[in-house]
Amino acid sequence: MAKTYVSATINGESAEFLCETQQTLLDVLRDVIGLTGSKEGCGSGDCGACSVIVDDRLVCSCLMLGVEAEGKSITTIEGIANGDTLHPIQQKFLEYAALQCGFCTPGLIVATKALLDENPNPTETEARYWLAGNLCRCTGYDKVIRAVMDVAADMRGEKVA
């Protein structure tokens, strides 16, 4: 089957790839490009493990086709840290033990990034509802929310007690 040529920006770098028309963006990222940080927890838009940011919008990459990435800018978990320096969100997830098995973690971190890009000062309820599409079976969410509220305050330059 003829593959389609796609040119996009992935984590700030231009990327060109060939993909089958029925391949999801998630499969392209994982299998074609080798960025396996985005996870497939369901393949049906229900779990958020595949979350990526496409042109400033939070997207389930399992629900988007690879060919739809043409001309778009995509941020995956691999693009969140600055080289070896963790992003403050990643740092706070670590400090708050907001992860166990880690399978949901890339999606949660990307979704948190999208939240704080859009709303740097979320209430706890806003954060919980924004992240309600990211299922985590291990942590019970509590520490995730603590981490998110704390990093939001940090990124606003506030000190939390």
Residues at the contact surface with other proteins, assessed by CB under 8 A: 1, 20, 22-23, 27, 30-31, 34-44, 46-47, 49, 76-78, 80-81, 86, 90, 93-95, 97-106, 109, 125, 127-129, 131-145
Name which of other proteins, ligand FES, none residue 60 binds, using a CB cut-off of 5 to 8 Å depending on partner kind: ligand FES
- Of 71 and 102, nearer to other proteins (C-beta) is 102
- Residue (of 147, 84, 79) closest to 112 by Cα position: 147
**How far apart, in Å, are the Cα atoms of 84 and each of 74, 79, 90, 99, 107?**
20, 11, 12, 20, 20
DSSP-derived secondary structure letter, 101: S
Q: Cβ distance 49 to 104 under 8 Å?
A: yes
Among 43, 72, 154, 155, the residue binding ligand FES under the rule CB under 6 A is: 43
User: Is 40 among the residues that bind ligand FES (CB under 6 A)?
Assistant: yes
User: Is 42 among the residues that bind ligand FES (CB under 6 A)?
Assistant: yes
3-state helix, strand, coil in the chain (%, to 5): 40, 20, 40
Q: Give the binding site for ligand FES (CB under 6 A).
A: 40-43, 45-50, 60, 62, 99-105, 136-139
